[in-house]
Chains A and B, each alone.
Chain A
């Protein structure tokens, strides 16, 4: 069973260290706008939700890519940068909005779990992000997240 980045929004304290860890390792600088994991804050509801690519088991982005740049794997949707033409159909297909477009390079960017050793997880002190075998690994990944969101809503 493969591991995935499991998000528990209830534990997130809105410190944004995950964003900084990601931007450093992917761009070499601290610039949260380029992070592939984004923390969405809703202060009025006291909710902070980190979101990143769910590495869907049947990823709409991989199914629709007309350039062969997104390849479905087990626990990982692999992005092949050289094949990307920047058409952004994957962004249209992803219902979670976790694929970003990088203007300077003209290709998309999305989480690749840092090759199976995700940086963001290392910097999450409250353990809102963990890299482990999901208990619901058989279910579509989107539903797993929705379950956590539902738990957060009950909290």
Chain B
């Protein structure tokens, strides 16, 4: 029987994880990896560190990696169309496949603001973007970041390190509004303003003002004019679903997949930023993971399923952790309880803040600021769907440690004799 042909479109977190997962099960299949960027896999998470000058080399796999993985690579080629069992590339060639992975990632959301295409406005999604930003640094003094999304904190750090005056322009009432609740967002904002970052909330860019063909300021909806030599877009991502669309796959905000990361075509899978997978906590709902972290797990699940060894059904559990100018923030799962049948448990201790969201007797979300060392065990708890009542001794207001999650203890007899004297 001829060996299976795997084609992976993409060369970032999801695709690499899928490649490795396939190879764990199947050493003989033929794997071809196609990506439009002409360089070996690099870490997009490291892009802000490239901008700040802290890292020069962003490669995320060692030299010789693809050879060791026995994967053919077609870098600098774009996949443009999916047909019955081939995928067409931009140079006219066609690749046959038994299994196809679409891991085409996302692009920065570009707001419809007058002057948005003025030179000096950047996204930060690729090395090319990062190089362009670095090229515009000499002489730059002021930077404005549009949006308070995930990327903005990392960009703030990088630009702050470079000594620029940074202003954050956020249309919602707080930074990281999709990730954090009001209290934790405020803590983060406090750290930023203490470091000299200016934050304008409930404000949007109305117009980008130019001078000599480059940006010079942002005019806001609240009538401010913020000088800007650089403007960075941090208003979220848009899934790259065009390729999926050519194959007639079900696409909404992202490529729709099931719990095994399979698209509407059983031989085509999708993982990463371009994918909308079932939400772990909200049945019937699909979510875009949107993080490197999520892309890795999705890629692994997709690869395993493609190789015929599917893992237990996957669900998106939105998780992220980041650090900004002195405060670490982690967010897991839901940031709001869906209905009355729940409560929040807050533990604020010294510089650390932890909020657990309990819904229908299960932990469904957590926000940690400061000390995020419990994040892993908490995520584990959420994934397992442990009910609080299963653990007689488990006190969610106390620090959560792994032994709390391990097999339940056989309890010793409870206090049977009252040895306390009456006062």
Contacts and interface: CB of A to CB of B under 8 A. Distances in A.
* A and B touch in their complex, CB below 8 angstroms: yes
Interface of A: 40, 42, 44-47, 49, 51, 63-64, 66-68, 85-89, 91-101, 106, 145-146, 149-150, 153-154
B379 interface: yes
B408 A101 contact: no
Interface string B408-420: 1111100000000
Nearest to B322: A87
B321 interface: yes
Contact of A98 (B330, B332, B402): B402
B376 A45 contact: no
Nearest to B374: A97
A122 B379 CA distance: 33
Contacts of B322: 87-88
B408 A91 contact: no
Given A87-B321, A87-B322, A89-B293, A95 B377 contact: yes
28 contacts: A40-B403, A42-B403, A45-B411, A46-B412, A51-B401, A51-B403, A63-B17, A63-B20, A64-B293, A64-B297, A66-B13, A85-B49, A89-B45, A91-B321, A92-B332, A93-B376, A95-B379, A95-B402, A95-B405, A97-B375, A97-B376, A97-B402, A100-B373, A101-B328, A101-B372, A149-B403, A150-B407, A153-B407
Given A45-B409, A92-B376, A153-B407, A63 B321 contact: no
Given A92-B330, A93-B376, A149 B406 contact: yes
A44 B412 contact: yes
B379 A68 contact: no
Interface string B297-323: 100100000000000000000011111
Nearest to B49: A85
Given A64-B293, A92-B372, 4 more contacts: A63-B17, A88-B328, A91-B372, A91-B373
A3 to B, nearest CB: 22
Nearest to A68: B60
Contact of A67 (B13, B43, B323, B408): B43
Contact of B321 (A42, A44, A88): A88
Contacts of B297: 64
B43 A68 contact: yes
Contacts of B54: 85
Q: Is the interface of A mostly helix, strand, loop or mixed?
A: mixed
Contact of B377 (A86, A97, A149): A97
Most B CB contacts (10 A, CB to CB) among A66, A101, A150 go to A66
Contacts of B376: 91-97, 99
Contacts of B45: 66-67, 85, 87, 89
Nearest to A151: B407
Contacts of A150: 407
Contacts of B412: 44-46
A87 B328 CA distance: 9
Interface residues of B, number: 48
A53 to B, nearest CB: 12
B46 interface: yes
A150 B410 CA distance: 9
B221 interface: no
Contacts of B374: 97
B407 A87 contact: no
B409 A47 contact: yes
A91 B292 contact: no
B401 A40 contact: yes
Q: What 6 A-B pairs have minimum CB-CB distances, sorted nearest first? A: A66-B45, A95-B380, A94-B376, A97-B377, A149-B406, A88-B321
Interface in B11-53: 13, 17, 20, 43-46, 49
Contacts of B330: 88, 91-92
A96 B393 contact: no
A145 B406 CA distance: 9
A106 B157 CA distance: 13
A106 B326 CA distance: 9
A92 B373 contact: no
A146 B407 contact: yes
A96 B43 contact: no
A62 to B, nearest CB: 10
A99 B319 CA distance: 17
B218 interface: no
A67 B406 CA distance: 30
